[in-house]
Amino acid sequence: MTTSYLLDTDMQHIKNISVISPIIFFSDNFTYDLYFLVCYKFRDSISHLIIDYIGSNFQQIDILNSLADFRQLTQLEFRNSHSTNLTPSHVLDRCPKLKYLKYVSDFQVSESVMLHLLGKNNVISLNFAASLRYLNLRLPSLSAMYTRYLVDYFPNQLKDSSISISRQNIFSWIDIVGMELALKLMEKIGRIKETYISFDLNDRYEVQTNDETKMTKYFRLLNVFRGNRQTHCTAYFSELIDVEKTNFSFSYVTNGRLFATYGLHDDDFLGPNGDLDLPDKISSTIGPEIFNILKFNISSIYGDVIYRTLSYSLLSCPKLEKFHFTYEYPYRCLVSFLGYKHREDPTSSTLTKGNFNFLEMAFISSAQCYFDLVTAYLHGIEALSLKMYDWNRANNDSVLDLRGFKKLKNFTYKSVTEYSENNDSDQENDFVLIRSTNGKERYYYLDEEKNKNPQVEYNKNPTTPCLTVFCDASVSFDFCKGITF
């Protein structure tokens, strides 16, 4: 079915067409002006419209004023690639019945245009449609006057809002608009039931002399965005560009959970030990203690950053349920712990560290020092899972002491060879020696046949174990090869 056919044919017998997708017109001679003309033919029934506003497409059409003729229009996806002076209000002024608006613009509106728009001589209504429930804005940046425009007119009646800033660092934005105005916008957006705002990190930001640190500024924004809901927060701190996660964002999702992401840079780590720069709570009011799930993703190891970050988290985050640290290069390192008792209600406000009953760790050198750290804070661990590289790897622990886990019932050790430099090595004689508190010894082999009668195998070939484990006699063991969590 061609565009010209739809334009030229008498279709009075076709009623109640609510949406026409532009994809059905895609061809070598496709143009958006023809697509719009087809939609305009059904303007009395169209309720969902998709507009790619490019100047060359609409030279003969007054696109904005024509939108007013779509009397049933409730959903509009509008991409502005033409006018440098356009704002969402210019679109909404023509579409008073909209319930959903997705507005994408390639341009930063100048301060002079925004001053005129906010001035007394403005001829359009700046109030967003009272019927609007869903608003999605994607903009390159936010100027001071555009931020003021959103603070003054951003609709309170929304059920769902999203603002994505694609070419502006959040801290550069704060410097441009001032912290007071930035806080006002975050506070207003945070009141929406389901809401999201993000800034991409497109350049390195240099903190000004005698200025607040980046982390302090970030937590000041998070505090007002969080508002009076007093919910816990899932935080994602990443040094890496992730296509699924922007660099700086704040959001509330359907179940009321709060999420925050922070784009790490090397200046967020202090000194040779890799201490993470922390907010000044006199200014920010809150800090990492609101986190119940904390994830780190870095590409460089700064000193002892994994251990020190875990230590701080255990000490300072009383509601922490999960700590997840990933080191991407050259091998992935992961240390995480999770309270399985509360998986059915991860937002419960009654969680305490004493309730944790499961700990998992993977690809961590010197695992014993982490065991010693964790047992100082988490006293209820009942199950422990450890995954390491191949058994013969030099930096693996040769001795593990589990006696600090007073309630431990099960220990799982998994050896993987997928990252190993010794994949072809002979592992048939690899075995683990278990020394229990009652004086008894047990043996476990990787080879399933040998493990059917490990004591006999050891008596035949009493070699040095690759791993010796000290534990209570009641602990059960599971040793697996090449099995992931």
pLDDT in tens, 162-172: 999 998 989 99
Looking at the structure, tell me whether residues 89 and 172 fall in a common domain: no
Is residue 29 very low, low, confident or very high in pLDDT (cuts 50, 70, 90)?
low
Is residue 58 very low, low, confident or very high in pLDDT (cuts 50, 70, 90)?
low
Looking at the structure, tell me whether residues 152 and 168 fall in a common domain: no
Q: List the structure tokens of 330.
A: 């050259």
381, 356 Cβ separation under 8 angstroms: yes
| Whole-number average pLDDT of the chain | 80
Give 338 or 316, the one with higher predicted confidence: 316
387 in any annotated domain? no
Residue 7 has a pLDDT of: 56
Looking at the structure, tell me whether residues 170 and 142 fall in a common domain: no
Closest CA to 406 of 431, 369, 428, 437: 437
pLDDT tens for 232-261 read: 999 999 886 554 455 899 999 988 899 999
Residue 251 has a pLDDT of: 97
Is residue 394 very low, low, confident or very high in pLDDT (cuts 50, 70, 90)?
low
23 in any annotated domain? yes
Looking at the structure, tell me whether residues 182 and 327 fall in a common domain: yes
Residue 418 has a pLDDT of: 47
CA distances from 327 to 15, 276, 300, 311, 482 (A): 58, 15, 7, 17, 20
Looking at the structure, tell me whether residues 227 and 154 fall in a common domain: no
Determine what percent of the chain is predicted with pLDDT higher than 70.
Answer: 76
pLDDT tens for 436-448 read: 999 998 888 877 7
> The whole model's pTM is what?
0.84
Return the half-sphere exposure (C-beta side, CA atoms, 13 A cut-off) of residue 238: 17
Looking at the structure, tell me whether residues 121 and 174 fall in a common domain: no
**Which segment of 2-16, 17-31, 110-124, 316-330 scores lowest on mean pLDDT?**
2-16
- Sign of the Cα torsion 114, 120, 122, 128 reads positive
Is residue 392 very low, low, confident or very high in pLDDT (cuts 50, 70, 90)?
low
5 in any annotated domain? yes
Q: Give me the number of domains the chain comprises.
A: 2
Token pair 């013969």 in the structure block, residue? 392
Looking at the structure, tell me whether residues 183 and 302 fall in a common domain: yes
Final residue before a domain boundary, out of 302, 320, 341: 341
Residue 269 has a pLDDT of: 78
Mean pLDDT of 382-400: 71
Strand pairing category for 258-263 and 233-238: parallel
CA distances from 154 to 71, 84, 128, 248, 366 (A): 24, 21, 7, 21, 52
Residue 348 has a pLDDT of: 44
Mean pLDDT of 368-375: 88
Looking at the structure, tell me whether residues 153 and 170 fall in a common domain: no
198 in any annotated domain? yes
Residue 266 has a pLDDT of: 78
- Sign of the Cα torsion 131, 136, 142, 147 reads positive
54 in any annotated domain? yes
Q: Which residues lie closer than 8 Å to 183 by C-beta, 6 or more apart? A: 220, 221, 224
Final residue before a domain boundary, out of 293, 324, 341: 341
Looking at the structure, tell me whether residues 192 and 62 fall in a common domain: no
Mean pLDDT of 136-161: 94
Domain span including residue 3: 1-158
Residue 434 has a pLDDT of: 92
pLDDT at 181 over 90: yes
223 in any annotated domain? yes
Looking at the structure, tell me whether residues 281 and 325 fall in a common domain: yes
Is residue 151 very low, low, confident or very high in pLDDT (cuts 50, 70, 90)?
very high
**Which segment of 26-30, 159-163, 202-206, 461-465 scores lowest on mean pLDDT?**
26-30
Residue 413 has a pLDDT of: 83
Return the half-sphere exposure (C-beta side, CA atoms, 13 A cut-off) of residue 370: 25
CB atoms within 10 A of CB 188: 20
Residue 349 has a pLDDT of: 45
Is residue 338 very low, low, confident or very high in pLDDT (cuts 50, 70, 90)?
very low
pLDDT at 346 over 80: no
Is residue 424 very low, low, confident or very high in pLDDT (cuts 50, 70, 90)?
very low
- Which of the given ranges, 108-117, 321-330, 362-371, 416-425, has the highest pLDDT on average? 108-117
293 in any annotated domain? yes
Is residue 63 very low, low, confident or very high in pLDDT (cuts 50, 70, 90)?
confident
**Which segment of 9-13, 43-47, 261-265 scores lowest on mean pLDDT?**
9-13
Residue 404 has a pLDDT of: 94
Q: List the structure tokens of 148.
A: 């003021």
397 in any annotated domain? no
Is the backbone peptide bond immediately before 330 cis, with ω within 30 degrees of 0?
yes
Is residue 333 very low, low, confident or very high in pLDDT (cuts 50, 70, 90)?
low
Looking at the structure, tell me whether residues 150 and 234 fall in a common domain: no
Measured distance CA(290)–CA(465) in Å, rounded: 44
Looking at the structure, tell me whether residues 134 and 205 fall in a common domain: no
Final residue before a domain boundary, out of 341, 366, 386: 341
Q: 359 pairs with which residues across the strands?
A: 337, 384
